Structure 1
Amino acid sequence: MTETPFLPDGYHALAPGKLANLVTFLEMTERPDRPRRPAPAGYSLEPVSHWDTDVFLALYREIGWEWLWSSRLLMPRERLEAKLDAPHMRSWCPVKNGRRMGLVEMNLSKPGETEISFFGLVPDAVGGGIGGWMMREAIELAFARPGVTRLWLHTCHFDSPQALPFYMRMGFVPYARAVEVHDDPRLIGRLDESAGPHIPMIRNGRSPDLG
């Protein structure tokens, strides 16, 4: 078994055009003993039987614009379509008045565990307890699979500052951290330059002064 390489202490320069993101991994190993809540007024959680790729990307951008969600935007389209259609991927959307207001995506590829690969709401759905209801429903769906003893997800410091404490309140426990390096999607035209306003965009990067 190959050991995971760990970064040594100190600063580590990034190539121009790249971003580095501190990721926190969280898990729960049993279903929390707490009552489910009724859906907020007008809402239902509906499964997605098949994604139109452009519809998915539009919702993905709407949810993740402020937080610089980009992993699906950086995928070649053929790979994204294959992933969305993969039999081990499942999606649900909170729906109000016929409009999809968010996304819960799960990866069921490993027996005994479920990954929540994406969880988020469109900006005008944030607040009012919708996220808490949606996560409780997601937890029920995940542990309803036979033999599932672990549910996990990850969040990052580019995300809303409310995300990590929210997941912990819902019963997830942090267990690992990693640094993710990827292209800045704004510099390659995958996101509008106004996206992720809390993350400065560096147009003409150069080597940092590391001492």
Structure 2
Amino acid sequence: MTQTLGPVLNLDGYTEVPDGKIAFVVTYLEMREAPAKPLAPPRSDVTLERWDAPDVATYRKLFREIGEDWIWFSRLEQDEAVLEKTLAEPARDLFRPIRDGRCVGTLELDYANPAEPVVAYFGLVPGAIGGGLGRWLMGQAVDMAWARPETKRLWLHTCTGDSPQAIHFYQSCGFTPYKRAIEVADDPRLKGLLGRDRAPHVPVIG
């Protein structure tokens, strides 16, 4: 039987991506020591609330609100029971910034590898972007991660589906790029997980 192979990645040129797929360049960034001073000053208008074992429907609603313009889809296509188990993992800390009684973002720290925790998810709802809230939230993440004596490295990743300001923001917070990867996936807009009008900077093809 003849096996049909997919496209072979050309490391010195272009590789065609099939219709119905999306491709991202993923950039990994790391911080190898705690910052010498806080990333942002304290704020009196927002508090950080721990979110233990959140209801899956409520979590997905927030996940969609934050990430639909940046093609966040992994937690939308995950089986509900699997996602519920993931969110309740003892090594995973979830938080919500609260302003004026409303949740305005998400922060998720994964300590599965205690020496190298990862900022697994980080973002604000559209109306909360600007005004320094993102830097304050990242400051909370950095402070919590480096307060643990086991921490040797804090890392995260972003991609070309995300906001074009993301990499600059992470670098301004003290993270350094160290690796790239290419991610190819089924377009979640064609699967009905996100509206076809979302993330116009990555056009739907297929």
For 2:56 and 2:104, locate their aligned partners in 1 and report how far apart those are by CA, in whole Å: 17
C-alpha deviation, 1:41, in angstroms? 4.0
C-alpha deviation, 1:193, in angstroms? 1.4
Residue pairs, 1:118-157, within 5 angstroms: 118-157=121-160
Could you say which residue in structure 2 is the equivalent of 1:114?
117
For 1:168 and 1:109, locate their aligned partners in 2 and report how far apart those are by CA, in whole Å: 24
Question: TM-score, normalization: structure 1?
Answer: 0.89
SS at structure 2 position matched to 1:113: coil
Identify unmatched segments of 5+ residues in structure 1: 1-5, 204-211
Q: Are 2:110 and 2:118, in contact at CA under 8 Å, matched by a contact in 1?
A: yes
Identify unmatched segments of 5+ residues in structure 2: 1-8
Q: CA offsets, 1:115-145, max 9 Å, x none?
A: 0011100000000010111111110011112
Could you say which residue in structure 1 is the equivalent of 2:6?
none
Query: Percent identity of the aligned residues?
Result: 45
For 2:114 and 2:168, locate their aligned partners in 1 and report how far apart those are by CA, in whole Å: 28
Q: CA offsets, 1:123-173, max 9 Å, x none?
A: 000000101111111100111122101000001111111110000010000
Aligned pair partner of 1:53 in 56, 78, 82: 56
Count of paired positions: 198
For 2:32 and 2:174, locate their aligned partners in 1 and report how far apart those are by CA, in whole Å: 10
Could you say which residue in structure 2 is the equivalent of 1:186?
189
Aligned pair partner of 1:8 in 8, 11, 14: 11
For 2:40 and 2:13, locate their aligned partners in 1 and report how far apart those are by CA, in whole Å: 46
Could you say which residue in structure 2 is the equivalent of 1:173?
176
From the superposition, tell whether residues 7 and 178 of structure 1 become closer, same or farther in structure 2 (CA, over 3 Å).
farther
C-alpha deviation, 1:111, in angstroms? 2.5
Within the alignment, does 1:200 sit opposite 2:198 as a pair?
A: no
For 1:7 and 1:164, locate their aligned partners in 2 and report how far apart those are by CA, in whole Å: 25
Could you say which residue in structure 2 is the equivalent of 1:102?
105
For 1:7 and 1:154, locate their aligned partners in 2 and report how far apart those are by CA, in whole Å: 23
RMSD: 1.5
